[in-house]
Each structure stands twice: as C-alpha cells, then as structure tokens.
Chain A
C-alpha cells in the first residue's frame, strides 16, 4: 500500500498528473481545488513513503505564493459584484471576490502538492526510461537528458572550482544577496564554456561505444504497465470526478 505511488509507471503518473491539472484549471469555485488538494494529500499520506520534514520545506514557498495569490486576487479581482462582506478604508471585499481568491489560492496549493507528489515518488532515471519506452521519446533526446543529469556532480565541482579560482584572483564575496545573485553571471559563463567542451567529449565517447540514437526494440531496464497502474488511474479519475462535482453541489 505504501509503495503504490512509488511503483506506479512514471509516464502514466505524469499523464494523470497533467490531465488532472488541466481539468482543475477550468474551475473557479473554492471547493473543487480544495477537495482535490485534500485528496492528493490523502494519497500522499497513505500510498507513499515521504519524509514530511523535507516535504514541508518544499511546500513552504508555495504556501507563501498561494498567500500572494489570495490577496492579489482579492485586490485586483475582475468581478467586483455581489454582496459586500468586509470593508476597510473605503475598500470593499465581496463574497464573490473572496470565493475566486480562495479558489486560486487552493489551486496553487493543489497543483504544488500534486507536483510534489510526483517529484517525491518518481525515480528520475526510471522516468526518462519510461518516457522512452511508453511515450516513444527519441533515445537521442532521452540519453541526452540522462547525460546532463549524470553531469550534475561534475557541474557542482566545476562551480566550486570556478568560484575558488575567482576568489584566488581577488574577487570579493558579495554580501548583498541580490548582488550575489547577479554575480552568478560571472560563474555562469565559464560553466557554459566548460559545458561546450564536456558535451563534445561525452558525445564522442558515446558514439565511440556504439550509440547511434536509433529507436530500439529491447531494453536492459524494462519498465512496464501493470495492473496496479489501472487501479491508480481509477483512483485519480474518482478523485477528479468527486472534486469537480463538488464544485457544482456547493
């Protein structure tokens, strides 16, 4: 039970997640995204093993963003009709306004929870492999992405090295956070230059080992669609139907 989301076919999970997001995007009442959000949370609790501490850390910026949405939608609402429920300094909030604002805020929460669910239960390499096997992604692209992914630790080392080299030559460490962010440009250019060299080398190495980039009929790491995937599809569909119809009832 706790492994259901982890064992799911990654491509199918991806399709389901995006489809439900598109479906939810049509609704502007607070209940649909709210129910959906709760449903996704329940799935996360019962069908996956998650480190909740990391989860909340990742969720925090989105919760802040949702709050931002809440108040901008109240202040800059398109539809200002309806009953006034709260007014302050000549500024009025109507029931409709609050409703759409809550809807958009819940939408942000629902989408980010859904995305977190995907991110926390999907193995990156399996995801790409599955895209290649189930969604017919070109192996050239798929392995290209995987090369990039495997290069991450190298890039991290390079980043540190470039920074240290800058410091050796007397570049000062910016204390201002914004300036430091803009100063990233100076590290970025040598990193991109290094990327050009690394790309050439690794492509050469791949081709030397017989990689042609043509589609294959057999794979070493086979990723299948199983019966459990059908069940998970049903669960997603059920959750979507419940939350969409909740929007009509309330």
Chain B
C-alpha cells in the first residue's frame, strides 16, 4: 500500500497529525471536564472533532490509506506527546480511521465531495461507537440512552468532521495554492509538452565589452521541470537571470 506513497505525502500527513494531535488533546481535556458534569454524553456531540484529520488528509492526498494512516498517526503523536490516554488511544485512532477509510473505499476513492466526506464522518462514528461499546462497556447502559449517544455521535461525525473537514481543505487550498499545487490540485496538472516559461533569442552585451556575454539564447522550461544552469564564474549566469 505504501509503495505508491511519496515521502512528502507521508511527511505531510505526519505534520497534519501533529497539528490535529494537539487539537485533539485540548478537546480531550475539555470534554473530560464536561464528562464529569454530564457523563459520557459530553463526548458525543463533539466526537466529530476527533475524526477530522482523516477526512482532511484523504481529501488532500487522495490515496488509499490516507484516512486510516493519518488518524493513527495523530493518535501516535498524541501518545508521543505523553498523552495520558496512551496506547488505547492508538487503537481507537486506528478504528476511527478505518471507519472513514471504509466510506472512501466504498466510493472507490473517486469522489471527494461533501456527501462522501459526511459519509466518511459517519463511518468513523459508527466504527468508533462499536469499539467504544465494547471497551467502555456501554452494554451496561439503558439501550435508549445508548441510542441517543449513537445518534449524537453520527451527527457530530457528519457535521463536524464531514462539513468541517471540507471547509478546512478549501481554506488551505486558498492559502497554499502556489506552494502545494502538486498536493492540492492534482487533476489540473498541465500536460508536459506545454511550455510554461520560454525565451527566444536573448542576448546581452556589457557596455565595455566587445563580445556579447550572452547571445541568441532560446529555450523552454516545461511545467514541473527542474533546470540547472551551470558554468564557470563570470560566464554570465546571473546576468542570464536578470535579463
């Protein structure tokens, strides 16, 4: 699965995981305090926050595994930070990520519109609820109360993670359009043969010299190409740039 991944995508996922790992931690503490007052119901309506990284990463990277890996990474980062929830968090991270991943897999990793993202949020909610049902012993609670918890969690997953995740990506896209074009606008890459930067018959002569330093230079630089300009010092590399 990982062979199709570029290193920069893995690192991007990891850095997003760090940012959201911290956000998650803040909300864990907030909701723990809440939970003392209103019980486990406190977690439910904000549960979608904990699914958001998988949806954002999948929406940006768009490769199988982006949801489950990013969510697990965020959990791993939380563990690395010395989060008190520790190892069981890693498991719940994997479970939540799998939920979102399942939704994307069903749609064949082809569509990333709001509806699919909301489905992914709901998927995370369902998976995490099943896991929570077992690990936190919801079986001991009144079924109608459990049903309320479940509904709240699914709604939260759909709204906070699905819609929120979408708006985060849009906002990011606006900001890093230049730096992150390969990440963010995958489908609109220009064909390789199309020149992006082209020069025709450029020349330059310093006023004191007889010979021109640069003469009759023409070339094209294509989209995504990397060009090295080399030569001994004084041959006109910088002059070439400035002209």
* Residues of A in contact with B (beta carbons under 8 Å apart): 14, 17-18, 21-22, 25, 28, 58-59, 61-62, 64-65, 67-69, 71-73, 75-79, 100-101, 103-104, 107-108, 111-112, 114-116, 118-120, 124, 127-128, 138, 140-141, 144-145, 147-149, 151-152, 155, 181, 184, 188-193, 195-200, 202-204, 206-207, 211, 213
Docked Cα-Cα span, A148 to B20, in Å, equals 11
Let me know if B145 and A120 touch, CB within 8 A: no
Q: Is the CB of A138 within 8 A of B2?
A: yes
Q: Contacts A21-B135, A78-B141, A188-B19: A144 and B13 contacting too (C-beta < 8 A)? A: yes
Q: Does B125 contact A (CB under 8 A)?
A: no
Complex contacts, B15 vs chain A, CB 8 Å: 147-148, 151, 155, 195-196, 198-199
Please pick, from B42, B80, B141, the residue contacting A149 in the complex, using a CB distance under 8 A: B80
Q: Which of B5, B16, B33, B79 contacts A192 (CB 8 A)?
A: B16
**Bound complex: CA A27 to CA B168 (Å):** 41
The 24 sampled A-B contact pairs (Cβ below 8 Å) are: A18-B88, A68-B37, A72-B39, A72-B145, A73-B141, A78-B142, A107-B137, A112-B85, A119-B79, A119-B84, A140-B10, A141-B2, A145-B80, A147-B11, A148-B17, A181-B30, A193-B180, A196-B183, A197-B176, A200-B180, A203-B6, A203-B7, A203-B12, A206-B11
Residue B96 interfacial (CB < 8 Å): no
Contacts A25-B137, A141-B10, A189-B171 given: A196-B80 contact, CB under 8 Å? no
Give the contact stretch, choosing among B69-77, B105-113, B190-198, B235-243. B69-77
Q: Report the count of interface residues on B (CB-CB < 8 A).
A: 70
A140 in contact with B36 (CB, 8 Å): no
- Chain A residues with CB under 8 Å of B89's CB are 115
Report the minimum CB–CB distance from B233 to chain A (whole Å): 24
Interface residues in B48-91 by Cβ distance below 8 A to A read: 56, 69, 73, 76-77, 79-91
Rounded to whole angstroms, the CA-CA distance of A221 and B61 in the bound complex is 32
Contacts of A101 in B (CB 8 A): 140
A103–B85 Cα distance when bound, in Å, is 19
Which 10 A/B pairs are nearest by Cβ-Cβ distance?
Answer: A115-B86, A72-B39, A148-B14, A203-B8, A64-B36, A199-B12, A61-B32, A195-B15, A124-B80, A144-B10
Chain B residue numbers with a CB within 8 Å of A138 are 2
- Indicate whether A103 sits within 8 Å of B30 (C-beta atoms), given known contacts A115-B85, A199-B11: no
Known: A77-B142, A145-B73, A149-B80. A28 touches B137 (CB 8 A): yes
Q: Tell me the chain B residues, 123-161 only, with Cβ under 8 Å from chain A.
A: 134-137, 139-143, 145-146
Interface of B is mostly: helix
On chain B, the residues within 8 Å of A61 by CB distance are 28-29, 32-33, 84
Complex CA gap A73/B149 in Å reads: 13
Distance A200 CA – B135 CA, assembled complex (angstroms): 39
Across the interface, do B19 and A155 meet the contact criterion of CB distance under 8 Å? yes
Residue of A nearest to B180 (CB): A196
B114 interface residue (CB < 8 Å to A): no
Rounded to whole angstroms, the CA-CA distance of A176 and B139 in the bound complex is 38
Query: Which B residue sits closest to A196, measured CB to CB?
Result: B180
Contact of A72 among B41, B77, B85, B87 (CB under 8 A): B41
B26 in contact (CB, < 8 A): yes
Contact of B23 among A25, A108, A184 (CB under 8 A): A184
Q: Which residues of B contact A184 (CB under 8 A)?
A: 23, 26
Interface centre among B7, B38, B77 (most CB of A within 10 A): B7
Question: B87 — which chain A residues lie within 8 A by C-beta?
Answer: 14, 17-18, 21, 115, 118
How distant is the Cα of A59 from the Cα of B32 in the complex, in angstroms? 11
Q: Which of B2, B8, B15, B139 has the most CB of A within 10 A?
A: B15
The reply on B227 being an interface residue by CB < 8 A is no
Residues of B within 8 A of A193 (CB): 172, 175-176, 179-180
Please measure, in the bound complex, the distance between the C-alpha atom of A147 and the C-alpha atom of B179, giving whole angstroms. 20
- B39, closest chain A residue (CB): A72
Residue of A64, A71, A211 touching B32 (CB-CB under 8 A): A64
A100 / chain B contacts, CB cutoff of 8 Å: 137, 140
